[in-house]
Each structure stands twice: as C-alpha cells, then as structure tokens.
Homo-oligomer: A and B are copies of this chain.
C-alpha cells in the first residue's frame, strides 16, 4: 500500500490496550494518529486535530459512540468507522444511518481495518491523492494551498477552508448558515456576519472587485461562478 503522508486518524476507545495496539499499527503504516479515551476528549481533539478518519468505539462510558458520531458528522466531512462488539450490532449501526461510513465487528484483524480505512479515504477524500483542478482553481489539500490562475493565494486557515468549500460546491447557492456549519463547525456560537467578513477578504485576494466570481444572492447566500 502506498505511503500516504499527512493523513490523520483519531482513535476513540475506552480500552487502553486496544487503543495502544491500533495506535502503533497505524503510526507504523504512516498515518498521523491521536487517541482519546472518551467522547468529550474526542470532540475536543477533533477540532484542533482535524482528522480525516475517526475510528470510534460504540460502547463507551459517558457520551457514547453514537453521540460522538453525530457531532462529528454535523461538523465536517470526516469518515467515521464504528467499532462494535458482536452482540452490540444493532440496526442503527448496520444501516449506517447514524452517519457512520462503515462499521466493524470486534474482534477484527488489523489488515481488515487498514483496508477499510484506505477504502474510506479513497472514497471521501479523492483530493488527498493529488491536487484538484476546478476551473482556474488548483486545490492542493496536502499543502493546504490554493492557486488561482496559477498564483498561490496567501490564505489564513479559515480563508482556506472557506474558499475550498465554496469552490468545491461552485454553482450552488450556499447559505450563510450552511457555510457556518460546514466551515466553522456546528457549534460555532458567533454571528453570521463573520461569513460576510471572510467573503470580503476572499474577494479582495481574488481581486473579485465586481463580485462576479463570488456572487451574492441576496437573502439566499453566496455562489461561486466559474468562468
């Protein structure tokens, strides 16, 4: 399997043994790994770590896997793989209705887990396998870099995420609420005005003086129109 740099995995399980076992294995495989022993910790880490994949035990004390999964899914595009004991497999898990993208029944082989992880990544983050070109934009997620008309844009982290979101969804009207949910996270407490402020900043950097590139749909939101 190819060496993927910069793919981040968050492990959540209350059993230290399993946690350590998986952590070592995945690190050895070249992933960046962080661990949490409970739901609350997981959520905290999630935001600063921004993993691509979360591996999540269903049964945990405190906030259980379902709840954690829900919060994750609301927040961002993250692949979630749930782990469950054989006798816990209920329909919620089976149907993957809770937002999880895959699940595995314990005990499982490490190889099997790896296979699923790669499947998820390939499926959900095609842009991690190279840069995506969308019109005049080149998005290189590994470098956290966006080029516009072959010029690298100097973007702050938030600007980067926002522009990526807008460009990947070009042609669609994106409401400020939706933008806040997806870029700032479901739990952002501030004002919608911040979206407007960042849009301005992007327009400045894109020299989009007449708002042709990032259009305002008054009352509805914003839409990126590619030439």
Copies assembled: 2
Is A142 interfacial (CB 8 A cutoff)? yes
- Report yes or no: B97 in contact with A25, Cβ–Cβ below 8 A: yes
- Report yes or no: A165 in contact with B1, Cβ–Cβ below 8 A: yes
- Considering the chains assembled together, what is the distance between the CA atoms of A130 and B141 in angstroms? 29
Is A95 interfacial (CB 8 A cutoff)? yes
- Considering the chains assembled together, what is the distance between the CA atoms of A110 and B94 in angstroms? 11
A168 surroundings in chain B (CB, below 8 A): 1
Is A172 interfacial (CB 8 A cutoff)? yes
9-residue interface stretch from A38-46, A51-59, A190-198, A212-220:
A212-220
A223 surroundings in chain B (CB, below 8 A): 143-144
How many chain A residues touch B (Cβ–Cβ < 8 Å)?
Answer: 46
- Report yes or no: A169 in contact with B4, Cβ–Cβ below 8 A: yes
Neighbour of A1 across the interface among B6, B28, B77, CB < 8 A: B77
- Report yes or no: B98 in contact with A178, Cβ–Cβ below 8 A: no
A220 surroundings in chain B (CB, below 8 A): 144, 157
Q: What sequence of 0s and 1s flags, for each residue 88-111 of chain A, a beta carbon within 8 Å of any chain B beta carbon? A: 000010011111000000000111
